[in-house]
Amino acid sequence: MNEGAKDRIRKYTTGLGVEDVGFGAVSDYRSPLSPRVETLFPAAKSMVVLAYKELSNCESENPRIAMGGRIDSMEFARSCTYKVARFIEKEFDAKAMSTPLSYPLDMKPEKRFGLIAEFSQRHAAVAAGLGNFGRNNLVIHPRLGPQVIFCTILTDLELTPDPPITEDLCTHCNICVKNCPGKALEEEGKTDEFKCMKFSQPYGMGRNIRFWMKFIDGSPEERKNLMLSPEFMNMYQAGFIGFEYHCYKCYVSCPVGKKKKGAAAERANHE
Ligand code: B12
């Protein structure tokens, strides 16, 4: 029943176009900062982790094109996650809960104002045998590299965990460290969040706080100008999009999972 259930979930999931799926035991989930899974879903036994390959949009220097691709991936991911969770509930008479792909986040100061998730997707992916941490602090998938986003479904269904990947997938070339415009990866095993966000989310919370501080102290004329500034318009847009990412350098500079140069052209010539 167990392997049969896994096969059926895998077949359904990949049939939706999801790139890969891994199965992990809740008891193997070890996130140093996020709460224990039992506090979210006491009966949870297994994690079904879905891996979604990012489109090549993230390679574009144009931030609208890059973020547009991320929005597409996230919408696709959210819809598939819901479908797979319902499939598990209906087919196996089990309970299934999705976990947030990125937000909502707990904005309390002890959660570093939304920097520590309820559930760490990277640690779940590692436990489900989908990859391991690279020098860029991202989880590298053996076939797809780090350009993957993860989303996990928790279930009370007992599923045999997939074996963890023991091979080090990072080539330790340090290209990600050199390519980070914010110098956020200098310390091994730690992303300096604020240095990262200065480039990855230039219209996020930091900018909002600075903007509104300026607004509070401004004269009526300065306030009017601030409301009509591109800065405000960009913040407005980032607000309705949700988190808006402007930097993908640690993601796209990684050589792992990249197609060999000229492979596409060669394939096209053979068609
Ligand atoms: C908050 C957040 C951020 C914050 C803070 C990042 C951080 N320090 O965790 C900011 C805004 C800076 C950020 C940036 C980015 N993020 Co982000 N982010 C999240 C989010 C919502 C929560 C992460 C969290 O809870 N962190 C707190 C805890 C888990 O971190 P931690 O325990 O301190 O772990 C850190 C270190 O200890 C170390 N670490 C932990 N264990 C181990 C083990 C080993 C062996 C090593 C070497 C390191 C290591 O790595 C972590 C990074 O600093 C997750 C989604 C989610 N729910 O998981 C996405 C997520 C981590 N982000 C993701 C991505 C893609 C990005 C960006 C590329 C932005 C972009 N353009 O998309 C950058 C990459 C920055 C980087 N290289 O680290 C993906 C990662 C996918 C992947 N392949 O790994 C996630 C998983 C979203 C998703 N659903 O796929 N992110």
Both 14 and 129 in one domain: the answer is: yes
Kindly state the average pLDDT of the residues 141-167.
97
In a domain, 140, yes or no: yes
- The domain containing residue 62 runs over which residues? 2-155
Ligand 1 pocket test target in 74, 102, 149, 185 with most atoms within 8 Å of CB: 102
Does the pLDDT at position 16 exceed 80?
A: yes
Kindly list the protein residues whose Cβ atom lies closer than 6 A to any atom of ligand 1: 31-34, 100-102, 115-117, 119-122, 133, 136-139, 146, 148-151, 189-191, 193, 196-197, 200, 245, 247-248, 250-251
Kindly state the average pLDDT of the residues 11-28.
98
In a domain, 211, yes or no: yes
Both 21 and 149 in one domain: the answer is: yes
In a domain, 250, yes or no: no
In a domain, 252, yes or no: no
Kindly state the average pLDDT of the residues 158-175.
97
Both 8 and 77 in one domain: the answer is: yes
Both 46 and 131 in one domain: the answer is: yes
What is the pLDDT at residue 60? 96
Both 109 and 220 in one domain: the answer is: no
Q: Which residue has the tokens 């982790």?
A: 49
Both 105 and 234 in one domain: the answer is: no
222 Cα: distance to centroid of ligand 1 (angstroms): 38
The band of 242, judged by pLDDT with boundaries at 50, 70 and 90, is: confident
Nearest atom in ligand 1 to 66's CA: 71
In a domain, 267, yes or no: no
Q: Which two tokens stand for residue 141?
A: 């998938």
Q: Which residue has the tokens 């879905």?
A: 50
What is the pLDDT at residue 39? 95
121 Cα: distance to centroid of ligand 1 (angstroms): 8
Does the pLDDT at position 8 exceed 80?
A: yes
The residue nearest atom 4 of ligand 1, judged by CA position, is 115
Both 147 and 237 in one domain: the answer is: no
In a domain, 145, yes or no: yes
Per-residue pLDDT of 136-148, as tens digits, reads: 999 999 999 999 9
Mark which of 130, 155, 180 sits at the end of a domain.
Answer: 155
Ligand 1 pocket test target in 167, 191, 201, 205 with most atoms within 8 Å of CB: 191
Does the pLDDT at position 261 exceed 80?
A: no
What is the pLDDT at residue 89? 98
Both 57 and 135 in one domain: the answer is: yes
Nearest of 243, 232, 225 to residue 207 by alpha carbon: 232
Per-residue pLDDT of 33-79, as tens digits, reads: 889 999 999 999 999 999 999 999 999 999 999 999 999 999 999 99
Both 8 and 142 in one domain: the answer is: yes
Nearest atom in ligand 1 to 126's CA: 43
15 Cα: distance to centroid of ligand 1 (angstroms): 28
Q: In the chain, what percentage of residues exceed pLDDT 90?
A: 88
The residue nearest atom 55 of ligand 1, judged by CA position, is 102
Both 105 and 220 in one domain: the answer is: no
The residue nearest atom 43 of ligand 1, judged by CA position, is 133
Count of domains forming the chain = 2
The band of 269, judged by pLDDT with boundaries at 50, 70 and 90, is: low
Does the pLDDT at position 267 exceed 60?
A: no
Both 111 and 40 in one domain: the answer is: yes
Mean pLDDT, the chain, rounded, equals 94
The band of 25, judged by pLDDT with boundaries at 50, 70 and 90, is: very high
Both 147 and 218 in one domain: the answer is: no
Per-residue pLDDT of 55-67, as tens digits, reads: 999 999 999 999 9
In a domain, 70, yes or no: yes
Does the pLDDT at position 132 exceed 70?
A: yes
Per-residue pLDDT of 188-227, as tens digits, reads: 999 999 999 999 999 999 999 999 999 999 999 999 999 9
What is the pLDDT at residue 2? 72
Q: Are 11 and 165 in contact (CB under 8 A)?
A: no
In a domain, 184, yes or no: no
Nearest atom in ligand 1 to 151's CA: 89
